[in-house]
């Protein structure tokens, strides 16, 4: 029996966010922003297609650090929503910040699960990393204008092909903070004769965060604010020179 539309859409979103996570211990290069109250919100779309029809839903995800302990653990609430059907799930995870590993999910201990909300190392282009039971490759550095900020991020690709499942997953992490910027997946499920029985496509992108990296300066995009600041400085220099000449 196939799951209902709401359950299926939440399941697909959960796969995009959680199922394929970096398992390499990093260099703790991004931990300056990690503190209580920090959050990030994402929006995206989920499409599930079968021979009977297509289910399309808008998705939303939010994570927020609710506690950082003295022994270097972070407690994070993760919310997934399907806006069309008003379906929602809330998960609380506990992260070992030193190893960037999830050690508890809703109070239950888990093992060998890497934090999927951010990475704590800088990938090397061309280097291969283990994403749970899949192999991912850091393929390039992407640049995007996001919330008025020019973001540089590491793109990591996974492609896979088995007897009954084929597809790819692309995920990108901010080069400055390590947090997930966007993710996209396309997975095909094959029948016993090798034909596509059903498939799903999902994508998300960061929409809002209170991490200083993604804050606007005085309501202006970061790049524009820097330009205006430089322009103000140049105008001041011209004024000073004019005073000296006159």
Same domain, 116 and 238: no
Asked if 120 and 178 count as a contact pair (C-beta separation under 8 A), the reply is: yes
pLDDT: is 129 or 141 the higher one?
141
Q: How far apart are CA 150 and CA 159, in angstroms?
A: 28
Q: What is the pLDDT of residue 132?
A: 54
Instruction: Give the rounded percent of residues in the chain with a pLDDT score beyond 90.
Output: 41
Interval 151-205: pLDDT, tens: 899 998 988 888 899 999 898 999 999 999 999 999 999 998 888 899 989 899 9
Q: How far apart are CA 202 and CA 9, in angstroms?
A: 9
Same domain, 184 and 195: yes
Task: Name the DSSP class of 219.
Answer: T
Same domain, 104 and 185: yes
Backbone angles phi, psi at 147, to 5 degrees: 55, 35
Mean pLDDT of 43-54: 89
Q: What is the pLDDT of residue 126?
A: 95
Same domain, 211 and 222: no
Q: What is the pLDDT of residue 229?
A: 43
Q: Looking at residue 160, which CATH number applies to its domain?
A: 2.30.230
Same domain, 60 and 156: yes
Q: What is the pLDDT of residue 189?
A: 92
Mean pLDDT of 30-53: 90
Number of domains in the chain: 2
Q: How far apart are CA 162 and CA 143, in angstroms?
A: 32
| Order of strands, sheet of 53-68, starting from the edge strand that comes earlier in the sequence | 108-114, 101-105, 87-96, 73-82, 53-68, 39-50, 196-209, 180-190, 165-174, 149-161, 134-146, 128-131
Residue 217 has pLDDT above 90, yes or no: no
Same domain, 15 and 96: yes
| Two structure tokens written together for 92 | 């609380």
Same domain, 191 and 245: no
Same domain, 233 and 182: no
Which domain range does residue 235 map to?
218-246
Mean pLDDT, all residues of the chain = 79
Q: What is the pLDDT of residue 178?
A: 92
Mean pLDDT of 143-155: 86
Q: How far apart are CA 111 and CA 187, in angstroms?
A: 26
Same domain, 64 and 92: yes
Same domain, 18 and 107: yes
Same domain, 123 and 225: no
Same domain, 203 and 188: yes
Interval 56-101: pLDDT, tens: 889 899 999 999 999 999 999 999 887 777 788 999 999 999 988 8
């Amino acid at each position: 029996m196939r799951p209902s539309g709401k359950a299926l859409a939440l399941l697909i979103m959960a796969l995009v966010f959680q199922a394929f996570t970096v398992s390499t211990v990093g260099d703790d290069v991004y931990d300056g922003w990690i503190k209580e109250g920090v959050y990030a919100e994402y929006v995206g779309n989920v499409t599930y297609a079968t021979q009977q029809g297509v289910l399309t839903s808008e998705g939303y995800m939010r994570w927020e650090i609710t506690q950082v302990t003295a022994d270097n653990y972070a407690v994070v609430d993760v919310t997934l929503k399907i806006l069309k059907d008003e379906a929602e799930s809330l998960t609380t995870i506990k992260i070992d910040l030193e190893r960037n590993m999830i050690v508890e999910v809703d109070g239950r201990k888990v093992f060998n699960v890497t934090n999927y909300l951010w990475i704590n190392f800088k990938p090397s282009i061309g280097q291969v990393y283990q994403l749970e039971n899949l192999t991912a490759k850091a393929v390039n550095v992407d640049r995007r204008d996001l919330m008025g900020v020019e973001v540089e991020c590491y793109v990591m690709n996974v492609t896979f092909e088995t007897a009954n499942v084929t597809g790819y997953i692309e995920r990108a992490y901010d080069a400055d903070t390590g947090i997930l910027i966007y993710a996209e997946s396309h997975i095909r499920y094959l029948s016993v004769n090798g034909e596509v029985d059903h498939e799903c496509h999902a994508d998300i992108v960061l929409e809002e965060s209170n991490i200083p990296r993604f804050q606007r300066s005085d309501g202006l995009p970061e790049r524009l604010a820097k330009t205006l600041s430089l322009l103000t400085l140049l105008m001041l220099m011209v004024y000073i020179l004019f005073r000296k000449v006159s």
